[in-house]
Structure 1
Amino acid sequence: MTITDAAYAKINLALHVRRRREDGYHELETVFAFVNGGDRLTAHSAERDSLNTIGEFGGALDNPFNNIVMQALGALPRPDGLEVTLEKNLPVAAGLGGGSADAGAIFRMVEQSHGLPEDWQARAAKLGADVPACVESRTCLGRGTGTELEPADEAMANTPVLLVNPRTPLATGPVFKAWDGIDRGPLPDGDTLRIAVEGRNDLEAPAISLCPPIAGVLAALRGTSPFLARMSGSGATCFALYDSNFARDEAAARLAADHPDWWQMKGNLR
């Protein structure tokens, strides 16, 4: 049996950091959304679990046995193994939840073949704060460290989106460490569109301090007349949302011509 699934790119439409916790994590409020593109996983039944990585960014995963895909496989009880091929199309350490999305796809693939244990959410959360949301891969609100999920409306489904990364990896830990500790308030009330437009990403300033090219990406995106441009997660990827696929495609072509060294992906929100 062959199973395939997509690891959908995650973006944070808004990300409000409220406080540092004593356990070293941060209390936050966010709106997770997912793009209809990302990595691709294919799995076959096998005697034992294994992972092969291909794709543009496959070489960035230098230790497949320590990869979150293998950790996700190890977290789920099954009678047999899975031989997984991961086509890594998303940049690594990019604020897109790429590894978490890969793990989320594994959970869905195991669900197809064997079902998931009742405590799958807790097992997912142990792998990473974004993993439970990435298993669902639907727009939702995240609180706590991001693992306390609440359903959200589909006001932004099918919204055209352009993702751009300056091809500069940026680790999450240093960005959170550089946050100034100021609580700038909760997410706005209203539907996801209002929250996105009126919200913010509190990690944008600390990320830019560590990776100045992010500011250039945001300026370039805002110059293409989206109704929203913002950094995703802890960076360095930024996204822009448009009123039409045509406007998004025009922006993508313009940025590809002006900045051929930048990575980009076009899509629509799921």
Structure 2
Amino acid sequence: MAHSETAYAKINLALHVRRRRDDGYHELETLFAFVDAGDRLTAQASGQDRLHVVGEFAGTLDNPFGNIVAKALGALPHGSGWDVTLDKRLPVAAGLGGGSADAGAVFRMVRDEYGLPEDWHARAARLGADVPACVESRTCIGRGTGTELEPVANDLSGSPVLLVNPRIPLSTGPVFKGWDGVDRGPMPEGSVREIASGGRNDLEAPALALVPQIADVLSRLSASGAWLTRMSGSGATCFALYDTAEQRDAAHSALPTGWWSLAGALR
């Protein structure tokens, strides 16, 4: 067998943090969406599991055996073993669910070859709150810690999107810790466009306090003709949605050198 799969970049079109739970996690409502590009995984049958990490951001993953790809392999039956190469194209600690997307790609490859066990959702959730959504990599609503998924009518499929990161890693923990604890209300209802337009990201303020350069990214994108600009997840990646690919590409070409960026479309 030989499989290859894209680990689609995850963005949060809206992210409403409602309360801090007794278990230390946060109760939230989010609108997950996925970009048609990301990391790339290839796998071949092997006598044992092996993981090789290559690509622009390979150096940021210092322990391949602690990598979520290795953990995903360990969570699923997949024969005697797989030799996996991960081409790490997405920045790490960037609000794009890169590791979760990688794990989701492993789940899809195992599904194609062997099928998934009935409790795959629970196995995915144990790896991380974003992993269940990343398995399907379809636009959906997430509640609870993000693992309780609901379908939503996706009227933004194919929308041009631009992702921009100032190349500053930002860990999720400190951002959540900096949230002020104020419940600013539920996520709107309606179509994906309506939820995204009327929603917000409650982690933007604590992220900005840690990485002020996020404001520069948002400012640049807001002036680029986008109809929506927002930070994704816990940052520091921001996204902009456009009506046309021409607008997106013009904004992309005008970005400062030194920032990481990805031009694509929503799945």
- For 2:78 and 2:229, locate their aligned partners in 1 and report how far apart those are by CA, in whole Å: 42
1:261 corresponds to: 258
Shift of 1:152: 1.0
The residue that corresponds to 1:75 in the other structure is 75
User: Separation in 1 of the partners of 2:204 and 2:213?
Assistant: 12
Give the root-mean-square deviation of aligned CA atoms.
0.5
* Equivalent residue, structure 2, for 1:179: 179
**1:187 CA displacement:** 0.6
- Counterpart Cα distance in 1 of 2:221 and 2:13: 15
| Aligned ranges 1:71-150 → 2 under 5 Å | 71-150=71-150
**How far has the Cα of 1:148 moved from its partner?**
0.1
Q: Which runs of 5+ in 2 are unaligned?
A: none
Counterpart amino acid of 1:68? I
Taking the aligned partners of 2:84 and 2:9, their CA distance within structure 1 comes to: 19
Match of 2:241 in 1: 241
Aligned mates of 2:168, 2:258 — CA distance in 1: 11
Shift of 1:79: 2.4
Moved more, 59-68 or 75-84: 75-84
Identical-pair percentage: 67
Corresponding residue of 2:41:
41
Per the TM alignment, residue 78 of structure 1 is displaced from its structure 2 partner at its CA by 2.7
AA matched with 2:257 = P
Structure 1 SS opposite 2:254? helix
Q: Give the match's secondary structure for 1:261.
A: coil
Q: What one-letter code is carried by the residue in structure 2 that aligns with 1:8?
A: Y
With normalisation by structure 2, the TM-score equals: 0.99
Note the alpha carbon deviations across 1:164-194, whole angstroms, 9 max, x for none. 0000000000000000000000011211100
The whole-number CA distance in structure 1 between the counterparts of 2:219 and 2:266 is 22
- Counterpart secondary structure, 2:195: helix
1:221 Cα shift?
0.5
Is 1:251–2:240 an aligned residue pair? no
| Runs of at least 4 residues off by over 6 Å | none
Q: TM-score with structure 1 length normalisation?
A: 0.98
Match of 2:167 in 1: 167
The one-character-per-residue Cα deviations of 1:209-267 (angstroms, maximum 9, x if unpaired) are: 00111011000100102000000000000000000000000000011xxx101000000
Number of the residue aligned with 1:11: 11
